[in-house]
Amino acid sequence: CTMSMSGDEEMKLRIECKSRGMSYWCEFTGKPSVCRAFRNNPKIYWNQIAIELRKLPHACESTQVLKATMCQKAPTEALMMQVAAGMEPEDLANQEKSDQKTSTSMRGAGKS
Exposure b/e, 60-70, CB count within 10 A at least 16 = b: beebeebbbeb
Q: State yes or no: pLDDT of 92 exceeds 80.
A: no
- Range of lowest pLDDT (68-72, 82-86, 94-98): 94-98
Average pLDDT on 68-84 reads 92
Taking 80 as the threshold, does the pLDDT of residue 89 lie above it?
A: no
Query: What confidence tens digit (pLDDT) does each residue in 6-45 have?
Result: 988 899 999 998 877 778 899 999 999 999 999 999 999 9
Neighbouring residues of 36: CB distance < 8 A, sequence distance ≥ 6: 74
- Is the model more confident about 5 or about 111? 5
- The whole-angstrom separation of Cα 52 and Cα 50 is 5
